[in-house]
Structure 1
Amino acid sequence: MSSIRHLEHIMDTFLLDDQLRNFLREDLEHGDITTDAIFSDQETATVLIRAREPLIAAGMEKIAARVFRLLDERVTFAQATPDGQRVNSGEVLMTVSGSVRTLLRGERVALNLIQRLCAIATLTRQYVDAVQGLKVSIVDTRKTTPGLRMLEKYAVRVGGGRNHRYSLSDGVLIKDNHIAACGSICRAVKKARATVPHTIAIEVETDTLKQVQECLECGVQIIMLDNMDCSTMRQAVTMINGQALIEASGGVNLDTVRGIAETGVDIISVGALTHSARSCDIGLDWQ
């Protein structure tokens, strides 16, 4: 797991600002011809960013506020809801004051981002709540929206989940295609150990108990149980008996996650956290 990538590291301001500028550049391109034709630089206003459904707040101060500030540092904010807080429909997430031109230019980019991030945080919290009381972590995958990985993985943490690998360079995960191309689990593990630093753990994806046994024979540190039914997973957990960290993956949804957690696995990875979260309904109202 990519535990060294703490929340603050993922949201590095230097990297974030560069990304947000690109999003603004995509939308503004050569300017906002509608807003510029109607309003002057001197006109100001205050707007309310409001939740239109229950959600977990994510990115008000760190993302939405930053979008407006990159357009104009004079913009001010109030009532910014802290990340991770439950919010009811109708509640104000943040108040923004500044130039009318700035507010209109930044509105769509800011809303697009927080609608997405709140959705991921909200869905993640549902999974975390579903396994409450069990010693298991809910983690994401690399099934993220291209260009939004840093932000989406941040939202998973806000929702109470943890992050798996941030990128392919974060850890060794030997999957079915690696095994098929190499010939065996032990051969693939041996080659990986000869190359990667001793500080990097090796994880192997398995889909049979025979493969689990092979992992144990070659001392794999993390064993992924991929698309196994709960009965098979329980057998695997008994076989492993604390010799490796156990991750369950595949076929995970809100109806199945509790049963998977009860098999005794340590980690459950859920691609749906980022690839299937429905954007939250958040609006911007003018005072």
Structure 2
Amino acid sequence: MIIYKQIKELPQDYIDKKIEEYLAEDAANHDYTTIFTVPDAMKSVATIETEGEIVFVGEQIIRTIFKESSVEVYVKDGDFLKPGAVIAKIDGNSAYILSRERVMLNIIQRLSGIATITKKYVDVAKPFGVKILDTRKTTPGMRLFEKYSVYVGGGSNHRFSLETDILIKDNHIAAAGGLQNALKNVNAHKKQDMKVELEVVSLEQIPQAMELGVDGFLLDNMSPEKIVECVKLIRSLENGKDIFVEASGGITFAKLEKYVTTGVNGISIGALTHHIESADIHLVFDY
């Protein structure tokens, strides 16, 4: 059975590097609006709050961005928060807080939005033993953050990058000159511990692929009825019960209930990271 590495934590050195990059992009040290309006020595206390129900992600982000201030974070990554919940308080130089506010909100709003929508999908799928998987459809430069947020929301991480195992799709098959050529080439060159997953669009591809050797199938853009047929065929073949079966392709939340009962092991949802609504979080100055 295919099991991909899960992003269970964010390395602090990675967070430091990315936040430095994001602050430089926003020219946080050249915030002329703040420089010209707020006295250098002014001190303030600011509160970070949520305006909606969210699954929170961002404890390390807040602490790192405001590392020169006194920071109290009252929640942990993965906590479910109701509207009005106080996430953190920042006590320090006013200009310092103002110049970093937007970058901090951009990150934690997005990551909390991903965790929140992931939990929504997971709550439907979990009773049926079906994993909700992410994809590589992530924001450039934010993949580790976003896959971590999926994990925090209760989802499962699919492969992290192109070097993570083998996933043969229709274009690979076409470029290789057919399914048989593609699988023979892969099995001749891959490392022994690499798993092979194959995207299929028809029942006819399954017996041939099983004979040539695969560890999983991605059933792409199929109706629930078609997926049931495919799963039944896969499980009936030798070693078929050990095969990881994944459904994918346009499976929205509205359609999810029809797919969780098809017998698949997982459902991959690109929308978890590329079509999300950022969480409603704001920062206000108490004084």
TM-score when normalising by structure 1: 0.93
SS in 2 for 1:194: helix
Count of aligned pairs between the two proteins: 280
State the partner residue of 1:131.
125
Amino-acid identity (%): 38
State how far apart, in whole Å, the 1-side matches of 2:7 and 2:25 are.
29
1:211-232 CA-to-partner distances (Å, cap 9, x unmatched) read: 1222212121011100111111
State the partner residue of 2:264.
265
Unaligned runs of 5+ in 2: 236-240
State the partner residue of 1:226.
220
State how far apart, in whole Å, the 2-side matches of 1:98 and 1:216 are.
62
1:62 paired residue among 60, 68, 71: 60
- Check if 1:214 corresponds to 2:215: no
Paired residues of 1:2 and 1:170 also in contact (CA < 8 A): no
- Check if 1:190 corresponds to 2:184: yes
The amino acid of 1:150's aligned partner reads L
Paired residues of 2:231 and 2:263 also in contact (CA < 8 A): yes
State how far apart, in whole Å, the 1-side matches of 2:90 and 2:6 are.
31
C-alpha RMSD over aligned residues: 1.5
SS in 1 for 2:99: helix
State the partner residue of 2:80.
86
SS in 2 for 1:35: helix
1:160 deviates by 0.5
Paired residues of 1:2 and 1:166 also in contact (CA < 8 A): no
SS in 2 for 1:255: helix
Shift of the 30–89 alpha-carbon distance from structure 1 to 2, 3 Å rule, reads closer
Shift of the 99–57 alpha-carbon distance from structure 1 to 2, 3 Å rule, reads same
State how far apart, in whole Å, the 1-side matches of 2:145 and 2:205 are.
35
Alignment of 1:94-113 (within 5 A): 94-113=88-107
TM-score when normalising by structure 2: 0.93
1:198-251 CA-to-partner distances (Å, cap 9, x unmatched) read: 111011101111112222121210111001111111111111111411011012
State the partner residue of 2:243.
244
Paired residues of 2:29 and 2:99 also in contact (CA < 8 A): no
Unaligned runs of 5+ in 1: none
Q: Which ranges of 4 or more aligned residues in structure 1 deviate by more than 3 Å?
A: none
